[in-house]
Amino acid sequence: MPQDVDFHIPLPGRQSPDHARAEDEQLVWPRSLGLIKSEAAAERHLRGGYADLASRFYPHATGADLDLGVDLMSWFFLFDDLFDGPRGENPEDAKSLTDEVAAALDGPLPASASPIAHGFADIWQRTCEGMSPAWCARSARHWRNFFDGYVDEAESRFRNTPYNSAAQYLAMRRHTIGVQPTVDLAERAGRFEVPHRVFDSAVMSGMHQIAIDVNLMLNDIASLEKEEARGEHNNLVMILQREHGWSKSRSISHIRDEVHARLEQFLLLESCLPKVGEIYRLDADERAALERYRMDAVRTVIRGSYDWHRSSGRYDAEFAHDASSQGYLEELGPSVR
């Protein structure tokens, strides 16, 4: 995150008390699946700080529940890196991989499936443990939207038609940023479920979209230097420059103002949740679940993302270009169809 961009996040930072143990053990799972095979790849992965991210997203989780969050964050970024090369510019190849991974939502994968697909299958199996069928169906829907977004991005690159409208870009990016599946896991990590009849209410939907938008805006500013270096054109800063003819600094300032405006709206929506409980006639346990969701899911994914972006090495200028990065991508490439 550029240090000269002042983002005031009016939410307290939190972190799991079990974060040190989780950080020490974070490489066990990706190594067991063959997703990390070398010391160079391990070092690169550790620089990303994904265990730190999970401990901020799920500060209420410890033990195996936190480990699931750490593994999900590891998987997210391992998967995302696979689209930095030719696959991310070929919609057919992108769809082939996303279809292979998404097949885990429908049942067991064949042994011949790629390690990245088996990794997702393991996460999905653990995610659904103890959760209702309705919750799993809701989360699966969010995952399918996430995978579809990667194909849309590849289509844009393949046709060499960068997004020139912030509105169109946001509609796509809201899926590929992966916030909704991340927020879903907060319920699983905390062993609770938001009442299904209120999940799609106007207030809840508004809170979700703000959390998603704030995350993607923070991410696009944090990744700007890296994406400029590799010739990427689909970044909100660049799109605002093309759409309005603004300078880079004005585009960044606009995004900062948009984040502030959304966070003000978020606090307003939060204040409406007691009324939501009345309208939907939630009982005491359901109101408690809604409050946990506010505190341990939506708030933490906003603040946790901000704190992680400021400390993670993933967005250092040299991250995508150092020798370990190249070896890492070559290492993963042949094992993925």
Catalytic residues: 76-77, 80, 84, 157, 173, 219, 223, 226-227, 230, 308-309
CB 129 within 8 A of CB 202: no
d(CA 212, CA 238): 19
Radius of gyration of the chain (CA): 19
Structure tokens at 28: 């066990």
Report the candidate in 31, 149, 305, 11 with the shortest Cα–Cα distance to residue 314: 305
The C-alpha torsion from 54 through 56 and 59 to 64, rounded to 10°, is 10
State both tokens at 134.
């309705």
What's the rounded Cα separation, in Å, for the pair 15 and 164?
Answer: 38
Task: Name the H helices within the chain.
Answer: 19-24, 28-32, 39-48, 50-57, 63-81, 91-102, 115-128, 133-158, 166-176, 179-190, 196-199, 202-222, 224-229, 236-244, 248-271, 273-279, 284-293, 299-311, 323-332
Q: Which residue has the tokens 């993607």?
A: 216
CB 79 within 8 A of CB 31: no
Residue keyed to tokens 């079990």:
18
